[in-house]
C-alpha cells in the first residue's frame, strides 16, 4: 500500500511538483511576454528569475486568520462605538451598505476590552493582543480594507486568487512563476496550517490555476513527515534509492537520445530526483528539535493554547531561512471556541469566548515571529502580512457576536520596504465602513509584488491569446505605505 501511494505521488509529481519539464514547454510557458519555449529545448521553470527591479524583500509570510476576526476588537479602537453601544445603528452609517443577505442589523455592540497605545507611533491595541502590541513601531496598518462578497469561501478565494470563482492562480503561484525557486531542494511555495485538518476549501486557495501545476503551493502537514507518502519505503535506504534513480536516469537518457523531441522522460527523471532530495530536506526544514528552549518558548510552544500555531510559525521562520519564497500560514479551528465542538474566528455568537481563545493561540506566536525575525536579521528581507477574508460588523448578532463585514476592516504588514509605525486609511466612527483610501485585495497583491521587485502590470502569462496578470484588470500599488 505504501509503495503504491509513493508511486502514485511520483507519477503525479511528473506532471505537478516535478513536472516542470513538461509545463515549461507548454503554450504560455514564456516569461513576462517572452515567446513560448520550443518543445525540443528544456527550460526549468523553477530556475531563479530576475525581478523587474531591485526587491525590498526576498520572502513573504502570509498569515491568514481563517474565519475573519473582529479587528474592531483588536486594532481599531472606536470610542464612539463604545459610547453608542446598545443603540440602533444610525442610518447615516448604513448608506451604501447592502445587508439583505446577512443576518440582519442588530444594535451596536462593544466588547469588554481595555485599550492602550503602544510605541512612538501611539497605535491602539486591545488587551487581546499584548504581544503583537509590543511591535507597534514595526507594523504598517491598513485600516481601510475592503473586499467583495461576504461569504467565507468566496471571500477567501478572492483574498488568495483575486477572483470570486475557482480557476485563477493564487498570489503565491504568481510569485513562484515570476521568480522561480531560491532553493532547489524545497518547494518555493509552502502552505502551513494549525489544527487537526486542512484549511476550508483546501488546495483551491493555493492552486496554480491556469499556470502550470509546478507553481502551486505544497501543503506541509503537521508532524515529522510534512508531505504525504514522502517517507522512504521500509528496508530501503537513501543510498539504495539513489543508486536506483541513477540507473533509471541512464536508461531514460538512452531513450531520450533516440527521441530528443520528447521531454516527458526528462520531466519524470527530474521529478524523481526532486522527490529524493525532499525526503531529506523537507523533514529537516520543519524539524524543531534543534531549536533552543528559549526560542520555542518565544513562539509559545510551552503553552498548550499557542503550541499548534506557534509550531507553524517557527516552521515558517525556518523555511524563510532556507529560501522558500512564499509561506502561507492558515490559522486552524480551536476546540471549544465556538457554539459547535470547534470553530475558527467566525464569531457570530460568543465573540468574547471565541476571540479570547483564538488570540491566546496566535498573539504570542506572532509576537515571537516578529522578534525572532528581527533578531536574526531576517525581518528586513521578509514581508509579514496579517490578513483575513473580511472583517466583522459594528452591530451585534445573536446578542453577543458580530456578522461579516466586507466594507471596512484592518490588515497589517511588517518587514522590509515599509513605513513602520504607520497607519493608512480609516473607517467611520463606529468602524463599519471605510471612509478614505479604500484598499482592495487587488491592491494588496500589487503591493506585495512590488516589494518582491515585480511590476504587477508586467507580470504576464499568455493564455489563449490573452495576456493574464495577477491583478486581472484592477489593482494599484499602495505607494503611501512604502518607505
* pLDDT, tens digit, 9 for 90 and up, residues 55-81: 999 999 999 999 999 999 999 999 999
For residue 139, pLDDT beyond 50: yes
Is residue 144 in a domain? yes
The CA dihedral of 245, 219, 51, 214, to the nearest 10 degrees, is 50
Position 32 scores a pLDDT of 41
Is residue 160 in a domain? yes
Q: Closest by alpha carbon to 283, among 198, 221, 191, 327?
A: 221
The DSSP line for 208-254 is -TTS-GGGS-EEEPSSS--STT-SPPTT--HHHHHHHHHHHHHHHHH
Q: How confident is the model at residue 234 (pLDDT cuts 50, 70, 90)?
A: low
The mean per-residue pLDDT over the stretch 292-309 comes to: 97
The total number of structural domains in the chain stands at 1
Low-confidence winner among 242-256, 314-328, 394-408, 418-432 (lowest mean pLDDT): 242-256
Cβ atoms within 10 A of the Cβ of 52, count? Answer: 17
Low-confidence winner among 72-76, 103-107, 131-135, 434-438 (lowest mean pLDDT): 103-107
Distance CA 193, CA 287 (A): 15
Q: Does the CA dihedral 298-304-306-309 come out positive or negative? A: positive
Position 275 scores a pLDDT of 67
Is residue 353 in a domain? yes
Is residue 14 in a domain? no
Q: Closest by alpha carbon to 395, among 87, 85, 111, 106?
A: 106
Domain containing residue 415: CATH number: 3.40.720
The mean per-residue pLDDT over the stretch 135-147 comes to: 98
Strands (E), 68-206: 115-118, 123-126, 139-145, 189-193
Is residue 168 in a domain? yes
Grid cell, residue 418, equals 515599509
This prediction has a pTM of: 0.86
Is residue 392 in a domain? yes
For residue 30, pLDDT beyond 50: no
Q: Among 104-113, 243-252, 371-380, which range has the highest average pLDDT? A: 371-380
Low-confidence winner among 186-195, 279-288, 332-341, 423-432 (lowest mean pLDDT): 332-341
CA angle (191 as vertex; 478, 332 as ends), nearest 5? 95
Position 231 scores a pLDDT of 59
The mean per-residue pLDDT over the stretch 11-16 comes to: 37
Mean pLDDT computed over every residue of the chain = 86
Q: How far is CA 182 from CA 98, 172, 305, 460, in A?
A: 46, 14, 34, 21
Distance CA 191, CA 207 (A): 11
Domain that holds residue 321: 59-481
Is residue 4 in a domain? no
pLDDT tens readout for residues 413-450: 999 999 999 999 999 999 999 999 999 999 999 999 99
Is residue 21 in a domain? no
**H or E element at residue 60:** strand 59-64
Position 250 scores a pLDDT of 79
> CA Rg, the chain, in Å?
23
Amino acid at each position: 500500500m505504501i509503495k503504491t501511494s509513493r508511486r502514485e505521488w511520483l507519477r503525479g509529481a511528473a506532471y505537478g511538483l516535478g513536472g516542470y519539464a513538461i509545463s515549461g514547454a507548454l503554450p504560455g510557458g514564456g516569461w513576462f511576454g517572452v515567446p513560448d519555449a520550443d518543445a525540443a529545448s528544456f527550460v526549468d521553470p523553477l530556475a531563479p528569475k530576475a525581478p523587474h527591479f531591485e526587491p525590498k524583500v526576498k520572502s513573504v509570510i502570509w498569515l491568514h486568520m481563517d474565519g475573519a476576526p473582529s479587528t474592531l476588537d483588536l486594532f481599531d479602537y472606536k470610542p464612539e462605538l463604545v459610547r453608542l453601544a446598545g443603540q440602533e445603528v444610525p442610518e447615516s452609517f448604513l448608506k451604501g451598505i447592502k445587508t439583505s443577505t446577512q443576518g440582519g442589523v442588530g444594535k451596536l455592540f462593544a466588547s469588554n476590552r481595555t485599550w492602550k497605545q503602544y510605541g512612538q507611533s501611539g497605535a491602539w491595541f486591545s488587551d487581546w493582543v499584548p504581544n503583537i502590541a509590543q511591535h507597534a513601531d514595526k507594523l504598517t496598518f491598513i485600516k481601510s480594507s475592503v473586499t467583495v462578497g461576504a461569504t467565507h469561501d468566496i471571500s477567501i478565494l478572492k483574498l488568495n486568487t483575486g477572483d470570486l470563482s475557482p480557476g485563477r492562480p493564487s498570489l503565491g503561484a504568481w510569485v513562484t512563476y515570476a521568480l522561480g525557486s531560491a532553493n532547489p531542494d524545497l518547494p518555493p511555495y509552502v502552505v502551513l496550517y494549525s489544527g487537526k485538518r486542512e484549511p476550508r476549501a483546501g488546495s483551491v486557495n493555493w492552486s496554480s490555476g491556469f499556470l502550470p501545476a509546478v507553481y502551486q503551493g505544497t501543503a506541509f502537514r503537521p508532524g515529522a513527515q510534512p508531505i504525504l507518502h514522502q517517507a522512504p519505503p521500509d528496508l530501503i535506504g537513501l543510498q539504495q534509492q539513489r543508486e536506483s534513480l541513477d540507473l533509471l536516469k541512464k536508461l531514460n537518457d538512452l531513450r531520450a537520445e533516440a527521441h530528443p523531441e520528447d521531454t516527458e522522460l526528462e520531466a519524470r527523471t527530474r521529478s524523481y530526483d526532486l522527490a529524493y532530495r525532499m525526503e531529506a530536506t523537507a523533514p529537516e526544514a520543519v524539524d524543531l528539535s534543534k531549536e533552543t528552549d528559549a526560542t520555542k518558548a518565544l513562539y509559545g510552544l510551552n503553552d498548550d493554547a499557542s503550541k499548534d500555531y506557534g509550531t507553524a510559525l517557527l516552521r515558517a521562520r525556518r523555511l524563510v531561512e532556507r529560501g522558500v519564497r512564499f509561506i502561507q500560514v492558515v490559522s486552524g479551528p480551536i476546540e471549544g471556541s465556538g457554539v459547535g465542538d470547534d470553530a475558527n474566528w467566525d464569531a457570530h455568537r460568543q465573540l468574547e469566548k471565541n476571540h479570547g481563545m483564538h488570540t491566546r493561540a496566535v498573539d504570542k506566536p506572532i509576537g515571537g515571529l516578529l522578534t525572532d525575525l528581527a533578531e536574526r536579521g531576517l525581518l528586513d528581507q521578509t514581508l509579514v502580512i496579517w490578513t483575513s477574508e473580511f472583517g466583522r460588523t459594528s452591530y451585534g448578532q445573536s446578542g453577543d457576536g458580530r456578522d461579516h463585514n466586507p466594507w471596512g476592516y484592518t490588515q497589517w504588514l511588517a518587514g522590509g520596504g515599509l513605513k513602520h509605525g504607520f497607519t493608512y486609511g480609516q473607517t467611520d466612527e463606529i468602524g463599519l465602513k471605510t471612509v478614505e483610501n479604500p484598499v482592495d485585495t487587488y491592491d494588496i497583491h500589487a503591493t506585495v509584488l512590488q516589494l518582491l521587485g515585480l511590476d504587477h502590470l508586467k507580470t504576464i502569462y499568455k493564455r489563449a491569446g490573452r495576456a493574464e496578470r495577477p491583478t486581472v484588470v484592477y489593482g494599484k500599488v499602495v505607494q503611501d505605505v512604502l518607505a
